């Protein structure tokens, strides 16, 4: 019986090649899209999941709640670590780490910049990364020891047996390899190739309560309750911190750190998880669109299988066996589509990896992959084949064999409803494409309040921090360079913040947290930032090393109408505000412009030299910069970066989403059009004689095209009316994550509708024109 069903299914597919192609190809596109998104979602959800006892590892975040203003950050003050480590009874281990640093690693004649950080001695007790040599207790316990990854050990020593060997770091101190750890996967919140004890670079400013510069992670003991541990930590910090200190710790499990970075009322509510939800929904939408094609064409062409059903029922076939037959045919189509989809995925995966900037593999030996494919086949087969199977198996044999089978209103209504559903999803995705694209264009073109074009920067390393002003003056000795300055952070991404700012008359309950960084002379000139009042730091004023510059947001926070000349106390002690800068974006558009204070300091915390090249002279400026840098710092390789490239990296996630939505949106439209093409072809086939009669009676080609197209156009208009309100709600919700965003105007939705109508008309008219140009003699020859 099943062998017979299989034969009939294959014959049916071969008999209607066009419709079989549309069904298989459409389903394959939908499945390949779903598989690609599934692979991406699986990779996203795998972040940090490989750590042992993951449920016990927590990211310690700073939070504040001042007059209803609730905020959650990432970096904590240095003293938090010592206070919590000393007094918390719920801890198994705790560690604090610096931001990643790219420092020159040298072994013999080999030297390259490698990424690592400084961490306190319990780092490996918190994260429990496997060791190839050494152990967690002694890995970075000594100030002269260094722990390195498998990759770094093999790169510099040719083996993982590197214990006791020497590595020079930053062209300065020598460290002894005390441990070799397994490479940390890319899908980790902490990643590095070397780790050195925190105390090696510790300075007095790192011990202040107001300076938020470090990430803190804790592993709770086996029986500890996270809520209780969090409450105890808050009590510890409150007891040990200065009276004016307003921040307190909250705990976030490591598995949620990557997915949930946005907080509301101190609770995680969103972040990367939103993109996972969006693309999971997109995968379902596209698969549904492909299934709708199958259902529509199968029910529309049911008349072709009606006599077969009638004969089978007359000779005693039960309905359940007919349902099994047609469901089996649907599963066969799904299996063929799945094979084609796997081929598509294998071919597209390298391009997809480049777009999403990941290293996702299609692992043939992965049982989860094959279980997913099998599940996809059954889900698609059942969804796509359920209605056609029930519809065909329910036909009455007497009416079929007497030739009285006609399409019922309910069947036609269902097909129209499916087309409306299909194109509603397409219009929804088109709207998403347009809105995300416009928001990305807005981000890329909006004036930030500073220049990022023709601005480059280099790291101040090796001998450069000791020769800053001489180095800067030598750089300026070129007709190709307009200005140069030093800074402790990239101006478009100033992350460091502090609660150390104080001034006369400050409300002691005020959250005085400000972003802060060190800058040199001519900072405003180099970055082309407008001074609202006062002046920039200048070497003509020796006292500027104890003075400060603030932005408008800081002046507003401090409630100072005329800040210039006012005395404040900050990192360099008491000093005078000598200038107020116009607000500029110092982070992403997801955040409002925060209060900011600049400190004029030429010490170790000045990490970058910013250089403004004259327009059209960038290559000459780079050549001069390389020459000067090699003269002042010959032991380090010359590397430079453009500020606008760094700015774009800040929106990498949004750019990836923008690209993926475009591709998947186009794919959804293509699949929808395949189904529309099949229905148009079927409609033209059913009305062949009608078209012939109309042409004989004088109907022109335009009227025939209009006759065949207008019903479809009506359905597209209904789709637009249904999709636009839903799309408006969805994209408006997405835009709420941006403090600075585009406005949703009617033109966006009108354009989305126009695109849908144009694509649908183009698809339908292709088949309509073909039918309208057919010779009426051929249409009526059987009469």
- For residue 175, pLDDT over 80 is answered with yes
Question: How does residue 549 score in pLDDT terms, banded at 50, 70 and 90?
Answer: very high
Nearest CA to 563 out of 524, 605, 531, 603 is that of 531
pLDDT tens, position by position, 294-310: 776 666 555 556 666 66
pLDDT tens, position by position, 650-669: 787 788 888 888 888 888 88
Phi, psi dihedral angles at 353 (to 5 degrees):
-60, -40
Q: What is the mean pLDDT of residues 339-359?
A: 88
Tokens, residue 41: 């979602």
* DSSP letters for 57-114: EEEEEEEEEETTEEEE-S-EEHHHHHHHHHH-TTEEEEEEE---EEEEEEETTEEEEE
Q: What is the mean pLDDT of residues 364-386?
A: 78
Question: How does residue 338 score in pLDDT terms, banded at 50, 70 and 90?
Answer: confident
pLDDT tens, position by position, 419-454: 788 788 888 888 988 898 888 888 888 888 888 888
User: How many of the other CB atoms lie within 10 Å of CB of 660?
Assistant: 21
At residue 487, the 3 state secondary structure works out as: strand
Distance CA 385, CA 383 (A): 6
Question: How does residue 783 score in pLDDT terms, banded at 50, 70 and 90?
Answer: very low
Question: How does residue 582 score in pLDDT terms, banded at 50, 70 and 90?
Answer: very high
Instruction: Report which of residues 192 and 462 the model is more confident about.
Output: 192
Q: What is the mean pLDDT of residues 113-135?
A: 93
- The reported pLDDT for the residue numbered 155 is 94
Distance CA 69, CA 595 (A): 15
Instruction: Report which of residues 424 and 508 the model is more confident about.
Output: 424
Tokens, residue 142: 């000594």
Question: How does residue 114 score in pLDDT terms, banded at 50, 70 and 90?
Answer: very high
Question: How does residue 171 score in pLDDT terms, banded at 50, 70 and 90?
Answer: confident
The pTM assigned to this predicted structure is: 0.79
Q: What is the mean pLDDT of residues 337-350?
A: 89
Q: What is the mean pLDDT of the chain?
A: 83
286, 446, 500, 623 from 760: Cα distances, Å:
17, 35, 62, 55
Half-sphere exposure of 78 (CA within 13 A, CB side): 15
| Percent of the chain surpassing pLDDT 70 | 82
For CA atoms 771, 772, 776, 780, give the dihedral sign. Answer: positive
pLDDT tens, position by position, 224-244: 999 999 999 999 999 998 877
Distance CA 615, CA 348 (A): 40
| Contact yes or no for 179/42 (Cβ under 8 A) | no
User: How many of the other CB atoms lie within 10 Å of CB of 382?
Assistant: 15
Distance CA 581, CA 443 (A): 22
CA angle 28, 34, 38 (to 5 degrees): 140
Q: What is the mean pLDDT of residues 743-766?
A: 84
Category of 559 on φ-ψ map: left (φ > 0), alpha (ψ -120 to 50) or beta:
left
453, 619, 642 from 616: Cα distances, Å:
11, 8, 15
Least confident of 390-394, 515-519, 621-625: 390-394
- The reported pLDDT for the residue numbered 673 is 77
Half-sphere exposure of 774 (CA within 13 A, CB side): 24
Instruction: Report which of residues 293 and 766 the model is more confident about.
Output: 293
Distance CA 61, CA 75 (A): 7
Instruction: Report which of residues 50 and 647 the model is more confident about.
Output: 50
Burial of 152 (0-12, 13-18, 19+ CB in 10 A): buried
Distance CA 599, CA 549 (A): 7
- For residue 740, pLDDT over 50 is answered with yes
Instruction: Report which of residues 323 and 56 the model is more confident about.
Output: 56
Q: What is the mean pLDDT of residues 367-381?
A: 81
- The reported pLDDT for the residue numbered 381 is 75
- For residue 647, pLDDT over 60 is answered with yes
| Contact yes or no for 642/261 (Cβ under 8 A) | no
Nearest CA to 26 out of 310, 237, 293, 218 is that of 293
- The reported pLDDT for the residue numbered 292 is 77
Beta bridge partners of 112: 105
Residues whose CB is less than 8 angstroms from the CB of residue 456 and which lie 6 or more positions away in sequence, other chains included: 610, 611, 613, 618, 621, 622, 625, 640, 641, 642, 643
So where are the chain's domains? 2-43+274-443+652-780, 59-91+204-217+224-257, 99-200, 462-635
* DSSP letters for 580-606: EEPP---S-TTSPPPPEEEEE--STT-
- For residue 29, pLDDT over 90 is answered with no
Least confident of 213-222, 379-388, 564-573: 379-388
β-bridge pairing 481-487 and 502-503: unpaired
pLDDT tens, position by position, 8-27: 666 666 666 666 777 788 88
At residue 334, the 3 state secondary structure works out as: helix
Q: Which helix (H) or strand (E) holds 553?
A: helix 552-557
- For residue 150, pLDDT over 90 is answered with yes
Question: How does residue 376 score in pLDDT terms, banded at 50, 70 and 90?
Answer: confident
Nearest CA to 305 out of 288, 332, 329 is that of 329
* DSSP letters for 682-747: HHHHHTHHHHHHHHHTT--HHHHHHHHHHHHHHHHHHHHHHHHHHHHHHHHHHHTT-SS-----HH
Top mean-pLDDT range of 84-98, 502-516, 530-544, 725-739 = 84-98
Q: What is the mean pLDDT of residues 703-712?
A: 70
- The reported pLDDT for the residue numbered 591 is 79
pLDDT tens, position by position, 250-296: 999 999 999 998 888 888 888 888 888 888 888 888 888 877 777 76
| Contact yes or no for 571/516 (Cβ under 8 A) | yes
């Amino acid at each position: 019986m099943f062998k017979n069903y299989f034969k009939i299914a294959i014959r049916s597919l071969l008999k209607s090649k066009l419709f079989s192609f549309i069904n298989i190809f459409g389903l394959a596109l939908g499945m390949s899209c779903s598989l690609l998104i599934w692979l991406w979602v699986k990779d996203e959800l795998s972040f940090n999941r490989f750590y042992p006892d993951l449920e016990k590892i927590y990211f310690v975040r700073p939070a504040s709640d001042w007059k209803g203003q609730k905020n959650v950050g990432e970096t904590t003050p240095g003293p938090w670590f010592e206070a919590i480590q000393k007094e918390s009874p719920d801890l198994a281990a705790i560690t604090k780490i610096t931001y990643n640093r790219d420092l020159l690693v040298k072994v013999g004649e080999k030297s390259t910049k490698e990424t690592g950080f400084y961490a306190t001695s319990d780092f490996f007790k918190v994260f429990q990364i496997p060791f190839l040599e050494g152990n967690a207790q002694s890995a970075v316990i000594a100030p002269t020891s260094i722990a390195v990854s498998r990759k770094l050990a093999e790169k510099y020593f040719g083996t993982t047996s590197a214990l006791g060997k020497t590595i020079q770091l930053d062209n300065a101190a020598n460290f002894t390899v005390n441990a070799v750890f397994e490479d940390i996967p890319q899908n980790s919140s902490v990643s590095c190739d070397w780790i050195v004890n925190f105390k090696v670079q510790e300075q007095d400013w790192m011990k202040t309560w107001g300076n938020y510069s470090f990430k803190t992670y804790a592993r709770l003991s086996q029986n500890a309750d996270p809520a209780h541990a969090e409450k105890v930590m808050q009590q510890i910090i409150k007891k040990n911190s200065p009276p004016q200190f307003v921040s307190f710790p909250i705990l976030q499990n490591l598995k949620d750190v990557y997915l949930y970075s946005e907080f509301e009322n101190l609770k995680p509510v969103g972040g990367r998880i939103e993109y996972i939800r969006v693309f999971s929904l997109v995968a379902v939408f596209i698969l549904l669109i492909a299934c709708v094609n199958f259902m529509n064409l199968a029910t529309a062409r049911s008349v072709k299988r009606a006599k077969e059903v009638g004969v089978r029922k007359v000779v005693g076939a039960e309905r359940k066996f007919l349902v099994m037959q047609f469901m089996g045919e649907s599963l066969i189509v799904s299996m063929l589509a799945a094979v084609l989809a796997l081929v598509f995925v294998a071919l597209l995966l390298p391009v997809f990896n480049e777009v999403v900037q990941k290293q996702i593999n299609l692992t043939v030996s992965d049982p989860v992959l094959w279980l997913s494919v099998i599940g996809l086949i059954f889900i698609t087969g059942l969804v796509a084949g359920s209605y056609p199977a029930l519809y065909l198996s329910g036909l009455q044999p007497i009416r079929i064999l007497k030739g009285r089978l006609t399409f019922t209103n309910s069947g036609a209504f269902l097909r129209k409803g499916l087309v409306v559903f299909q194109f509603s999803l397409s219009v929804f995705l088109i709207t998403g494409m347009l809105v995300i694209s416009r928001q990305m264009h807005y981000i890329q073109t909006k004036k930030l309040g500073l220049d990022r074009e023709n601005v480059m920067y280099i790291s101040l390393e090796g001998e450069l921090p000791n020769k800053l002003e001489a180095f800067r003056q030598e750089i300026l000795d070129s007709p190709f360079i307009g200005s140069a300055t030093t800074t402790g952070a990239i101006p478009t991404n100033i992350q460091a913040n502090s609660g150390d700012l104080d001034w006369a008359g400050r409300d002691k309950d005020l959250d005085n947290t400000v972003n802060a960084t060190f800058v040199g002379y001519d900072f405003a000139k180099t970055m082309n930032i407008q001074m609202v009042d006062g002046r920039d730091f200048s070497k003509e004023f020796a006292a500027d090393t104890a003075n400060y510059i603030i932005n408008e947001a800081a002046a507003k926070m401090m409630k100072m109408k005329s800040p210039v000349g006012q005395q404040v106390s900050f990192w360099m002690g008491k000093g005078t505000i000598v200038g107020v800068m116009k607000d500029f974006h110092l982070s992403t558009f997801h955040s409002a412009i925060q209060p900011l204070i600049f400190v004029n300091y030429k010490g170790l915390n000045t990490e970058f030299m910013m250089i403004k090249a004259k327009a059209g002279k960038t290559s000459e400026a780079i050549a001069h910069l390389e020459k000067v840098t090699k003269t002042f710092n010959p032991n380090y390789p010359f590397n430079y970066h453009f500020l606008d490239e760094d700015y774009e990296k800040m929106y990498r996630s949004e750019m990836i989403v923008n690209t993926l939505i475009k591709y998947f949106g186009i794919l959804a439209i293509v699949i929808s059009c395949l189904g529309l093409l099949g229905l148009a072809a079927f409609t033209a086939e059913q009305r062949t004689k009608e078209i012939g009669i109309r042409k004989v009676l004088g109907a022109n080609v335009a009227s025939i095209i209009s006759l065949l197209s207008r019903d479809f156009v009506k359905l597209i208009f209904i789709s637009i009316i249904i999709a636009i309100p839903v799309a408006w709600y969805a994209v408006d919700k997405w835009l709420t994550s941006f403090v600075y965003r585009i406005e949703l105007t009617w033109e966006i939705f009108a354009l989305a509708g126009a695109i849908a109508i144009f694509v649908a008309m183009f698809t339908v008219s292709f088949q309509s024109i073909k039918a309208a140009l057919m010779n009426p003699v051929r249409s009526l020859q059987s009469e």
